[in-house]
Structure 1
C-alpha cells in the first residue's frame, strides 16, 4: 500500500513514521518549508520527503493520503484527491486503525485543550497507562508506533473530523458550539456544527457520548442526528437524573454511584470551567475511577498555558494570558470570569468576528481596550461609541506598555485576543509567550 502524507509538521511526521514502522511504502510532501528538526527526524528514519513542492503525479498515485489539519479543505490538491476518489484521512483516523487502545476524544469550540488535559491528568493520576495527543502534545501516530498505551486522550478539531471514515472513540465528548472557523465551512454555522458531531458518527451502543445539555446548537443538531452511543448530558443550569450538573455550591455526577464536590474546591476558575470539570468527571466515572481520585485531580490540576493563565501580579495588577482565545466565544468566557476592572488586549487576524456577543460584558467589565494587530479598524469601529479609552498598537511591546500605564492597583490586564495570531505572531503560543516576556520585563 502506498501512503502519502501531506504536511511535514508534528502530525505529518508522526503519521509517516507510523506508516514506515508498519512496513508501508510512505512519501511525505509539504508545499512549504519543513522545520530542520522534522527534516532530521525524517532522514534518520529513512522516510522519503519533499518540501516547497507537491509532486502531483506521485501524490495522486497513492492508495491512502494522510492530511495535516493545517491544510485547508478547499486547497486545490485536496480537490484533486477527492476527484480521484483516493482515501483521505487525518492523522487521528490513520493512527486509530493501528491501535486497540480505548480512545477518549474531546471536541468543541472552546475548552478542548483544558478538558483534554484535565481528563488525561485524572487518568494518569489514577495510575492508568495513558497517552495524550491530537491537537495537543506529541503526535498520536508516533505514540501508537512507539508506546503501548491502553488509553489515549485526544483533543480533536473539526478539521481532523472532516477527514475521518471509521474513527470510533470509546468515549466522545462535545463540550459546546459557537461560531468559529466559518471561513472553512462556507460561512454556515450548521455545517461547522455538523463537522463537530462527526466525532460520534461511528460510535455504537457500547460507546459513550458526553454532551452539553445547555448548548442551543447541540440541541438543534441532536433533533436530526442519530447517536447510537449511550448519551450522557451535563448542565450548569438544571438538575439531571443522569449525568453531571450543579446543585447549590456543588458539582454532582450521577452515573452508577454519585460523585460530588464543592465548586470552590475546583482548581480551575470561571463558570465555563465548572462545565469542563463536570464533563471530565463524567469521563472519569465511565472509566470507573473512584471518587477520591477524581476529587484529588480536580483540586490539584494546573491551568493550561495560554488559557486564563495568571502570569504574575505587579503592584496590585494581575496579568492574565488567554492567548488561546482565538474566537469571540472564548473571550466571552474570559471576560465573564473577570472580577476586577479590566484592561483588555484584543485583536489579530479576524475570522468573521461578531462582537455583539461580548458587547455587554465589555461595557460592564472593561475600563480600556488596547488593540493589537496589523489592522485594528473593525474593533475600533465596533467599540468606539461604547468605550471612551481605545488604543491601537501593532507590537506586543507597545500593547503591554500602554496596558501597564492604564492599569491601577486592583485592576487586571487581560490578553484575550478573539482573533487568530498569524498577522503578527507565529502562533497563539508565540503571542502568549511574548506577552509574558513583556509583562515580566522591568
Structure 2
C-alpha cells in the first residue's frame, strides 16, 4: 500500500479528498490535491490544506494530475472512471483508489461494511445505536457523513467501525477487508456512472472480495442479485428475509422478528413495536439486527432501538402536520427503488412529489406502485414529463407540473384534504436544481413549515 515518500495525487477537493490528503500527509506521503473545477482562492478547504503544507491546484489539467512521478491516484468517489485523468492513470498502470481503501489500510479496528442500493444510511445508523446501547463501543463513518480517513485517529477504545459504503467508494477498493459485510439490496441505479448494471453489481460485490470463512456476510434472501453475490464469496452467510424462514439469520414468523443463530432461535420483538413504517424498513431492521448480533449486541438493546428509532434526516422524515395533512421528507430517495420504499410505507393514498436530474431512466418500475398508492402526482425538474407519463400509465387522474420543490409544496397544500399524506420522494438525484439531496430536503421542510 502507500508508503512514506510515495507521490500521491488526490483528485477532488470534497470531504473525502480533504480527509485523504490529511491522512496521507500524516503517513509521510508527498501529496498534492487537484480540483478540475475552478474555485475561489479563498476556499476554506484549500486554505486548511495549504496551511498544512499540502499544495492545492484548481482548474487542474490531466498532465498536472497524472505525471511521470505519480505513484498513486486517490480519487473522489464521485469522479467517474471515464474521467480523462482516471483513464490516463489506468493507461500508465498507476493504482487508482478511493479514500476508504486508503483508510482501511491503516485501520487497526475491525470494520463493519454496509452497502446496498437503498437503506444504507438507515441501517448503518441503527447498527451504531444498537452496538452503543449494548455497551459495544463503535464509531460510525463512511458515506454516512464522516469520511473514513477522518475517523482513523478516533478509533482508540472502539471495538468496531461501522461504515456505510457506496458503489462509487467500493469500485476503488483492492484490499478492503471488513470482518462483517452486508448487502441490503441491489436495484438498477447510478448507471450513468457505472455504464452498466454488471459494473454496478461488481462494484457492490467488491465489499466481499477479501472475506474468508472467519468473516460474516449478511445478505437479503429476498433479492435475486444479493443471492448471486452471496454465491461468489467466502464469508459465513447470515440471511435476512421478510418472506421466508432462513437457516441462519433473521426472519419473520407470526408477527415476530426471529433470530436463528448457531442452531438456536430467539424471538427478538413483535413487528408491531418497530417504529419505522413499511416493508423496506422492516428489511432494514432485520439486517441491522443480524449485523448487530454478529458484532456482539444483545437482544434487549436491539429491541429498544427499533422501538424508538424514527428515521434519519431526509429519509422518510416526518416534517409537520398542517391542517390535518402530514408531510414527509424523503429527499434521500434518489432512485426509483428508494421511492418505492416511501410509496409502500403508508396505507393511506398519497400526494407524491417526484422529479429531478434526468439520467436516462424510464421509471417503468414505479407504475404499479403509483397505481396502488398515489392519488395525486406532482412532478418537477428535468424528469417532470417522464414521471408524468408514468403517473398517466398508472391511471392517476390528477397530475400537476411544478417549477421546483417549493412550488410543489404550495400545490400540494392546496390539493390536500383532511387526513392526506404528502411525501417528497423524488426518485431522482437533485443536481438539476439543487447541489445535494440534503439541500433539496431542507428546502422542502422550510416550505412546509412556512405554509
Pairwise same-fold verdict (TM > 0.5): yes
CA distance in 2, matches of 1:360, 1:55: 46
Matches within 5 A, 1:239-278: 239-256=245-262, 258-278=266-286
Question: What secondary structure, in the 3-state scheme, does the structure 2 residue paired with 1:384 have?
Answer: helix
Matches within 5 A, 1:144-293: 144-148=152-156, 149-186=158-195, 188-223=196-231, 225=232, 227-256=233-262, 258-293=266-301
Greater shift in the superposed pair: 393-402 or 38-47: 38-47
CA deviation profile, 1:180-202 (whole Å, cap 9, x unmatched): 0112233x323321221111011
CA distance in 2, matches of 1:190, 1:217: 10
Shift in Å, 1:34:
5.6
| 2:366 and 2:390 in contact (8 A); partners too | no
CA deviation profile, 1:316-374 (whole Å, cap 9, x unmatched): 10101011111111111111112212111011112233333221221222111111214
Task: Calculate the aligned-residue CA RMSD, in Å.
Answer: 1.7
CA distance in 2, matches of 1:375, 1:155: 28
Q: Tell whether 2:302 aligns with 1:294.
A: yes
Matches within 5 A, 1:363-374: 363-374=371-382
Q: Tell whether 2:9 aligns with 1:9.
A: no
| 1:348 and 1:419 in contact (8 A); partners too | yes
| 2:66 and 2:88 in contact (8 A); partners too | no
Of 3, 22, 25, the residue aligned with 2:27 is 22
Q: Tell whether 2:107 aligns with 1:99.
A: yes
| 1:107 and 1:155 in contact (8 A); partners too | yes
| 2:219 and 2:230 in contact (8 A); partners too | no
CA distance in 1, matches of 2:242, 2:219: 12
In structure 2, the residue matched to 1:431 is 440
- Unmatched 5+ residue regions in structure 1? none
Q: TM-score, normalised by structure 1?
A: 0.95
Q: Tell whether 2:410 aligns with 1:401.
A: yes
Q: Tell whether 2:109 aligns with 1:115.
A: no
CA distance in 2, matches of 1:404, 1:42: 47
CA distance in 2, matches of 1:362, 1:302: 24
Q: Tell whether 2:309 aligns with 1:308.
A: no
In structure 2, the residue matched to 1:85 is 93
| 2:11 and 2:33 in contact (8 A); partners too | yes
| 2:249 and 2:260 in contact (8 A); partners too | yes
Shift in Å, 1:88:
1.1
Question: What secondary structure, in the 3-state scheme, does the structure 2 residue paired with 1:3 have?
Answer: strand
CA distance in 2, matches of 1:411, 1:287: 41
In structure 2, the residue matched to 1:341 is 349
Shift in Å, 1:95:
0.4
| 1:7 and 1:29 in contact (8 A); partners too | yes
| 1:121 and 1:301 in contact (8 A); partners too | no
Question: What secondary structure, in the 3-state scheme, does the structure 1 residue paired with 2:8 have?
Answer: strand
CA distance in 1, matches of 2:65, 2:192: 30
| 1:21 and 1:145 in contact (8 A); partners too | no
CA deviation profile, 1:268-292 (whole Å, cap 9, x unmatched): 2111111111111111111222211
Shift in Å, 1:375:
5.0
| 1:328 and 1:353 in contact (8 A); partners too | no
Shift in Å, 1:56:
2.0
In structure 2, the residue matched to 1:391 is 400
| 2:131 and 2:296 in contact (8 A); partners too | no
CA distance in 1, matches of 2:330, 2:379: 15
CA distance in 2, matches of 1:34, 1:41: 15
CA distance in 2, matches of 1:249, 1:441: 40
Question: What secondary structure, in the 3-state scheme, does the structure 1 residue paired with 2:136 have?
Answer: coil
The 3 A distance-change label for structure 1 pair 305 and 412 is: same
Q: TM-score, normalised by structure 2?
A: 0.93
Greater shift in the superposed pair: 1-10 or 122-131: 122-131
CA deviation profile, 1:372-431 (whole Å, cap 9, x unmatched): 214522122333352211111122221110010011111111101111101111111111
The 3 A distance-change label for structure 1 pair 203 and 221 is: closer
CA distance in 2, matches of 1:37, 1:303: 32
Shift in Å, 1:218:
2.1
CA distance in 2, matches of 1:342, 1:210: 33
| 2:136 and 2:296 in contact (8 A); partners too | no
CA distance in 1, matches of 2:362, 2:55: 45
In structure 1, the residue matched to 2:3 is none
